A and B are shown apart, each in its own frame.
Chain A
Amino acid sequence: HHYIGATWHVLKIELYEMGWNLKDGLRECLVAAAPYGGPISLLKGHNRRSPSARPQLEIYSSSGLPLASFPWKSGVVKQLGWTVSDDLLCVQEDGTVLVYDLLGGFKRHFSMGNEVSQSQVLETKIFHSPYGTGVAILTGALRFTLATNIDDIKLRRLPEVPGLQGAPSCWAVLTQDRQSKVLVANGSHLFILDNTACTPVTPPGLSPQASSIVHMCVSFSYKYLALLTDSGHVWMGTSNLKEKLSEVDTKIKTPPKQMAWCRRPKSQQPSAVVMWDGLLIVVGECKETIQYHLDDDSILVPELDGVRIISGTHHELLQEVPGACEEIFKIASMAPGALLLEAHKEYEKESQKADEYLREIKEQSLLSEAVRQCVEAAGHEHEPETQKTLLRAASFGKCFLSNFPPEQFVSMCRDLRVLNAVRDYTVGIPLTHTQFKQMTVQVLIDRLVYRKLYPLAIEICRYLKTPEYQGVSRVLKHWACYKVQQKEESDEVIAKAVSVKLADAAGIFYSEIATKAYESGRTELAIKLLEFEPRSGEQVPLLLKMKKSPLALSKAIESGDTDLVYTVVMYLKNELNRGDFFMMLRNQPVALSLYKQFCKHQEQDTLKDLFNQDDDHEELGNLYVKASYKEQRLEARIALLQSAVDEYYKAKNEFSAKTTEDEMRLLRFQRKLEEEKGELLVGFSLHDTMTTLLSVGLHKHAEQLYKDFRVPDKRFWWLKLKSLAEKEDWEELEKFGKSKKSPIGYLPFVEVCIKHHNKYEAKKYVSKVTPEQKVKAHLAVGDMEGAAEAAIERRNESEISTVLSRCSATTDHLLMERLNRAKATAVKK
């Protein structure tokens, strides 16, 4: 522990002794280490251009275990860097960026634009922002080109820097106001470049001795900026250049190799690390600095809460000592956490003193604070033994608290188990607790998956009870996607292995795995895997992609998702020729009816073709009939009906054919009459035509229809009866009634006359009514006597009751008596 001033100190701990064996250390290497304890890439001899001695690209874990190694065969690399998802970026001199995964698999490449490739890359920086990983390039033409997110490349060329003659003394990328900007130093001048302008800026209170800014660095959060001047002063302030936090003289005037911020989130202390050959200086708020001697060429890797120092042999972490740890471990500390730790030590020794310490804490009511401190401190410790000691103390303290919430303790124990597991030398992810919390379990699982550490990832998911969808299932899916690319194993073996492993995992989409298999050229395997997919709908898109359209169609239908069926049908419609398309539909009634629905609205003619192909004459007939009544011109209409007739005959549907022929005859008849008599008739039903004819007195014509169209007698009689009554042509009605025996009887005559308020005429027909209807008829004309007479004569109880119910007690007194008597006898019978 190194103290500076009264309250501030930093701590350097060793993370790993590096597992690699580098002959020349990091000398003459292009090195890039990913933040959050990510992988390290080395390119040895990157300036070599001869094909006989190609540079070697190597990738290691943070503990120096080899992950990949291969000779570099592309162009000259200017810079290496890592993306937020552990992909390696290699920026070449010509502005091409090659992307590799962390196991050295080539993924893709992209260009930083023509301008860059023409004037070549002078310097480049890879940076991270909330929008992803970005690349900034300074070209040979001394212009900056920037891409903020390499997954969605939008190249921006920044404005010119005034007065720039050669490479600027130093520069950095900032993220401010949701924009990536470049901060450039040209001698003592400082500029901010954004999309539109180049603005000169002045850091407040920068020591006047400086004639040039030789180095700069931005903090992990982009909030702070440190500048190193040729006079050896480090200026520290906010990156918006509004506030100066401190300025320290390093007393070294040679330009450094690297500079980085070393600061915890929420810390009040600014502090930066500057590295020269063999020397590391930590600067803070006060004048004093801490100096470390370095044996070997090293690089600094800035982290969220400190700086990692990687050399050819060692990997260390330099950190501001966390508050809780300091409180507890400071010599002679009286902080509650420190006392609790003491108390627990004494307790383990079965000493009386335990009680004294405890009482001391409790007297100040600081026991819960003490427990919290111990738990927090445990989180910051890298040594499992220290972690355990602190957690035991916390657990001990918890026993004397009744309502202390257990969550913090429990989750810290869990987190530490996970952290210790991934910090292990064989895994080599030296995360701090702060970094872990910032990164989230999700991302950690992803990182393990990238490293193909599937069992560990699953173990962690299970241990942390991550919901299966985001946890175990996701890992298994990645595993399966990796598995299907293993060329040496047979389709059967892989399919079996995948299905066995994934059997009871929830939320697995086999379609994704199958897609991967297809992409690596294994169509057969893909089809096999799709068979495991329980959601038939999920199988469809890939099947289409693999040109297995019939299978895709039946799967879509199986899914019961009409929309999906539709998608396939439309796809097939465009893919196949019409004949094949129809053939395929023919075997799939669901798809066919769906397509017919579509055609009904969009392609009437296709519909006809479809029916034609199926020899579905019935439907064709219907189609023509339908078309006919949309047609305004009579001739065309009749022609359509004729087509319908032909189809109906072909369909052996004589009834429809005959009916349609009748309709054609009727239409001709209607038109003829329209022309002759000027009466609007075309389009009326037979019934309506006759009604119209009768109402205008064209009885002859109505009768002609009656005969020609085999109209039932009953209908004709009803029609004529109603129409004559309508016109109040009572004389004609009487004649009609007598013309022959009415097929509808005479009750309708009575009722229709009454309806037209002619009781007199109605009465004429009462006598003709059948005995069963007599009562009704009499009642209809209001003849109570007659009704009673008829009912009594028929000795029908219910009829007698009906009449009775219509009698009025005041006027029909006598009649009621008679009826009641008759009812009594009728009942007796």
Chain B
Amino acid sequence: MAAWRDAPELPDFSLLKRLARDQLIFLLEQLPGKKDLFIDADLMSPLDRIANVTILKQHEVDKLYKVELKPIVSSSDQLCFLIRPRIQTVKWISDLVNADKVAGRFRRYKIIFTPQKFYACETVLEEQGVYGDVTTDEWNFYILPLDDDILSLELPEFFRDNFLEGDQRWVTTAGSALHLLQSVYGSFSKVYGIGRCAKMVYESWRELMEEGEQRTRQPEFAKVFLVDRDVDFVTPLCSQVVYEGLVDDLFRIKCGSVEFGPDVTSSDKSIKVMLNSQDKVFSEIRNEHFSNVFGFLSQKAKNLQTAYDKRRGMDIQQMKAFVSDELKGLKQEHRLLSLHIGASESMMKKKTKQDFQELLKTEHSLLEGFEIRECITYIEEHINRQVSMIDSLRLLCLLSITENGLLSKDYRSLKAQYLQSYGIKHLLTFANLRQLGLLEEQQAGETLTVMESKVGKLVNDKTVGKLTDAFSSLAKKSNFRALSKRLALVPKSGEEYDLRVPRDMAYVFSGAYIPLSCKLIEQVLERDGWTGLEEVTRMLNGQEFAVTEARNKTDAQRIVLVMFLGGCTFSEISALRFLGKERGCRFIVVTTAITNSARLLEALLDNHA
């Protein structure tokens, strides 16, 4: 798997980092002299990938602080805040400024919003009476390249804001990110998409295209696929079993790096490791089903030993060459290998246990629509035994989506039991899940159209369309079973599936399920549009589109950009890599953030806001 034969070269995304760094330095220099820098907690890791502490210090950043929304201790006369445009944070800064005023202290304040500023934030500054005391700037850091083929907007809140709160503020951000890619890497020939948000992002991007100057240059990728996370909720709710996904589920990969605890490193220290294609060991196992990984790693260890053993019988000259040419590489590989072996051991320990096997079995039954009663009993027990707050919720959601909602009786009883286990505050969680269509009670009687016509009378014609959209996304039926049949997402049970030789994308879920999102991408690329998929899109609530921007026939045709709005899982990335290999093309994933079931559900809890 070393070189992907016949696969096109990927563009060099490190350019994006350089652009971001240069702009940041420029902005920091707008506030000359020594200053303390306050950084939003969730910007720290991304920032570190762009400009490390040394670079910041070179541009007169004195001390670095994490934004904690608490009073600060800083003796500097210049404070610079590098933050996401959030009302809460801006309010905190306003309070700081006002406190300084009361104390008769004069400082200079600068807020750098990234990736853009929002009017709402400026309103807060105005309302708090500090608008004139603070200068604001924008750091247009839209995209962080996490790997050769993964670009992230690092906006986990995109999911909740857009799909739950109905706040579309990030739509333009996503549009700008695409525009940035286009201006750096050339224009696209074809754009496909599905989902309300995808459509809006495309429109926002289009507007930027029209405003800006058109550059005619050889494009580096030619097709774009935009997909809303709510088109496919099933995939991110499944347990991940491909190595990279499993590492994310178990250890949480943060901004392309993971911290392996003592149980993995078999020492008393934790070790931070970057997980990307630079890590030769990792890049070979990241897409493998975890059951293969251990065998693979032990083979690798043997090979490594053989390489070390070459030393025997070497003369001085050969030894010298060995030490200078190979040893360092071997040692590095050795270090990584032992870490990944540690990680997979820890994984095997957890995952081969009875519990996990039963959990997977339940998930597979739900996907297949088989033995649903048993599944419900299993979930009930899961809740009653307080096994895991998030996992129980995940199973409930999977049950609801695959079954088009729960029977009233089941819904009430499971919900009551869940609240008994985890407390009444989850009433709000359930409200959120219902709003997103993740966990619903099957309704008898009142249909959508009745609601629509009721509301429709209140508003003018133009908005009715939008409202209908809004409602259909609120109360949409998942139609999973029908979709699954139509797109053959669930292979026939009983057939042996050799996970070492995957035959389709289902291998990322042990052969039990092909991710819906990836299947859609495959189908649309194959058909060069949505023709023939009418029934599928109808079941997905429509909102699909395909636009031809320009015609060009180059190698770039074989590089496809897939943008996930609301997050994407490593399993999906692995599935797309597999698909790319099958089709001799390559996929670049642009996502608002890397997600998994835990992140997705945690975003919908309401105990923190």
Contact = CB atoms under 8 A, between A and B. Distances in A.
Interface of A: 467, 507, 535, 554, 557-558, 560-564, 566-567, 570, 586-590, 593-594, 596-598, 600-602, 618, 622, 625-626, 629, 655-656, 659-660, 662-663, 684-688, 709, 711-712, 714-715, 718, 722, 744
B172 interface: yes
A764 to B, nearest CB: 21
A622 B425 CA distance: 9
A581 to B, nearest CB: 15
Interface stretch (B276-284, B341-349, B380-388): B380-388
Contacts of A598: 87, 120
A112 B453 CA distance: 66
Interface string B94-124: 0000000000000000000000001110011
A686 B420 contact: yes
Nearest to B200: A560
B583 interface: no
Given A714-B384, A715-B384, A715-B420, A560 B427 contact: no
B451 interface: no
B207 interface: yes
B10 to A, nearest CB: 31
Contacts of A561: 172, 204
11 contacts: A535-B207, A558-B462, A586-B458, A588-B459, A625-B425, A655-B416, A662-B424, A685-B419, A685-B423, A686-B423, A715-B417
Most chain A C-beta atoms within 10 Å of own C-beta, residue among B123, B161, B203, B609:
B123
A780 to B, nearest CB: 9
Contact of A560 (B168, B385, B463, B606): B168
A89 to B, nearest CB: 34
Contacts of B87: 597-598, 601-602
Contacts of A562: 118, 167-169, 171-172
Contacts of B460: 554, 587
A567 B417 CA distance: 45
Contact of A655 (B123, B386, B415): B415
A600 B609 contact: yes
A539 B183 CA distance: 27
Given A562-B168, A602-B91, A625 B119 contact: no
A660 B427 contact: yes
B123 A622 contact: no
A641 to B, nearest CB: 8
Interface in B159-191: 161, 165-169, 171-172
Nearest to B201: A560
B88 interface: yes
B18 to A, nearest CB: 28
Contact of A685 (B120, B211, B420): B420
Contacts of B427: 622, 625, 656, 659-660
Contacts of A596: 165
Contacts of A711: 420
A629 B607 contact: yes
B470 interface: yes
Contact of A626 (B119, B165, B466, B606): B606
Leading 8 A-B pairs by shortest Cβ distance: A593-B166, A685-B423, A562-B169, A715-B384, A663-B424, A686-B420, A601-B87, A687-B421
A84 B59 CA distance: 41
B412 interface: yes
B417 A712 contact: yes
A594 B207 CA distance: 22
Contacts of B385: 715, 718, 722
A558 B460 CA distance: 13
A557 B119 CA distance: 15
Given A567-B119, A626-B609, 11 more contacts: A554-B463, A564-B119, A601-B88, A602-B127, A625-B424, A660-B424, A685-B423, A686-B421, A715-B417, A715-B420, A715-B421
B448 to A, nearest CB: 15
A10 to B, nearest CB: 46
A560 B425 contact: no
A687 B386 contact: yes
Contacts of B204: 560-561
Contacts of A600: 609
B31 interface: no
Contacts of A684: 423
Contact of B384 (A507, A588, A685, A712): A712
B16 interface: no
Nearest to A721: B385
Interface of B: 87-88, 91, 118-120, 123-124, 127, 161, 165-169, 171-172, 200, 203-204, 207, 211, 213, 380-381, 384-386, 412, 415-417, 419-425, 427-428, 431, 458-460, 462-463, 466-467, 470, 606-607, 609
A787 to B, nearest CB: 15
Nearest to A663: B424
A629 B168 contact: no
Contacts of B420: 685-687, 709, 711, 715
Contacts of A715: 384-385, 417, 420-421
A560 B423 contact: no
Given A566-B119, A685-B423, A714 B381 contact: yes
Nearest to B88: A601
A590 B463 CA distance: 10
B416 A685 contact: no
B172 A602 contact: no
A563 B115 CA distance: 14
B431 A601 contact: no
B462 A590 contact: no
A627 B609 CA distance: 11
A43 B428 CA distance: 79
B373 to A, nearest CB: 15
Contacts of A588: 459, 463
Nearest to A716: B384
A796 B341 CA distance: 37
Contacts of A594: 166-167, 169
A535 B168 CA distance: 17
A621 to B, nearest CB: 8
A554 to B, nearest CB: 7
Contacts of B466: 557, 589-590
A709 B459 CA distance: 45
Contacts of A709: 420
A562 B124 CA distance: 16
Specify which of B416, B417, B460 lies most central, judged by the most chain A CB atoms within 10 Å of its CB: B416
A687 B419 CA distance: 9
Contacts of B124: 602
A462 B204 CA distance: 31
Contact of B424 (A587, A590, A659): A659
Nearest to B432: A622
B467 A685 contact: no
A597 B167 CA distance: 8
A600 B161 CA distance: 13
Given A561-B204, A709-B420, A715-B417, A589 B169 contact: no
A560 B169 CA distance: 9
A799 to B, nearest CB: 15
A590 B386 contact: no
Contacts of A567: 119
Contacts of A622: 427-428, 431
A557 B470 CA distance: 13
Nearest to B166: A593
A648 to B, nearest CB: 9
Contact of A718 (B120, B167, B384, B416): B384
A557 B417 CA distance: 42
